């Protein structure tokens, strides 16, 4: 978790953990964000307020409106649909939901590049050569960078995946996608799984990462 997200209210961190609990272990996310598991689970058990119930209803209508138009609708169209059921919903409130759930019109949505192969740095030989048929874990790890929209900007997520087990073996997040982000993700994977000599670490030709044999 990036430093600026850690400094926000605990509820923001709790929401992040809940959102990605099916992808990453809750225990590890709590540890990385320096919060207690008991605090997180206590938060999950708290009674839901009437406003939160209403907000969830607004979210459901907004998502339905967005999906029915295959992501082509904008804020005005969603607001019109939402106000049929929630006439007092303000534009500001719906805009906050739009930003949180990334419900932007596909015609206007900006593409955030995570790979820059236009560089003069050395490029390692393609040892893997698209041979993804491995017979054991810890033989080939592949890496990638993704991004998540937050209220404070893009949060970059670097992951390392074992192509035999399909498991995410290491990860790291930050507010930028510099080389350090990929190094931390790889170090996280190495510390957790301690791979044997001969492991192939494969990535694209981005400036942040390169392929190598451990």
Could you report the per-residue pLDDT of 42-79, keeping only the tens digit for each?
888 887 788 888 998 999 999 999 999 888 888 999 99
Residue 77, judged by CB atoms within 10 A of its CB (0-12, 13-18, 19+), counts as middle
Residue 207 has what pLDDT? 42
DSSP string, 161-203: EETTTTEEEEEEEESS--HHHHHHHHHHHHHHH-PPTT-EEE-
- 200-202/212-213 β-pairing: antiparallel
Give per-residue burial for 133-159: e unless 16+ CB within 10 Å, then b.
eeeebbebbbbbbeeeebeeeebbbbb
CA distances from 37 to 5, 159, 208 (A): 18, 23, 33
pLDDT for the residue numbered 209:
46
Give burial (CB, 10 Å; 0-12/13-18/19+) of 105: middle
Q: Quick one: pLDDT at residue 206?
A: 47
Q: Which pLDDT belongs to residue 163? A: 84
pTM of the predicted model as reported, rounded to 2 decimal places: 0.38
Confidence at residue 146, expressed as pLDDT on a 0 to 100 scale: 84
Does domain 140-213 bear CATH number 3.30.460? Answer: no
Domain boundaries defined on the chain: 3-45, 50-100, 140-213
pLDDT confidence of residue 130: 58
pLDDT value of residue 132? 61
Low-confidence ranges of the chain (pLDDT < 70): 1-9, 107-133, 151-152, 204-214
């Amino acid at each position: 978790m990036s430093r600026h997200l850690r400094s926000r209210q605990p509820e923001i961190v709790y929401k992040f953990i809940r959102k990605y609990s099916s992808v990453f272990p809750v225990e590890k996310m709590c540890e990385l964000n320096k919060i207690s598991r008991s605090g997180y689970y206590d938060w999950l058990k708290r009674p839901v307020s009437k406003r939160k119930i209403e907000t969830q209803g607004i979210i459901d209508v907004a998502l339905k409106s967005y999906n029915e138009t295959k992501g082509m609708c904008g804020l005005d169209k969603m607001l019109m649909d939402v106000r049929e059921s929630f006439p007092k919903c303000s534009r500001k409130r719906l805009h906050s939901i739009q930003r949180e759930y990334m419900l932007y019109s596909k015609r206007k949505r900006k593409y955030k590049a995570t790979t820059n192969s236009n560089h003069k740095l050395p490029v390692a030989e393609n040892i893997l050569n698209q041979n993804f048929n491995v017979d054991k874990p810890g033989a080939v790890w592949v890496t990638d960078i993704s991004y998540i929209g937050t209220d404070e900007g893009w949060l970059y997520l670097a992951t390392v995946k074992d192509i035999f087990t399909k498991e995410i073996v290491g990860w790291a997040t930050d507010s930028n996608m510099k080389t350090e982000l990929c190094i931390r993700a790889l170090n996280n994977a190495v510390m957790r799984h301690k791979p044997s000599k001969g492991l192939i670490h494969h990535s694209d030709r981005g400036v942040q990462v390169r392929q190598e044999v451990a």
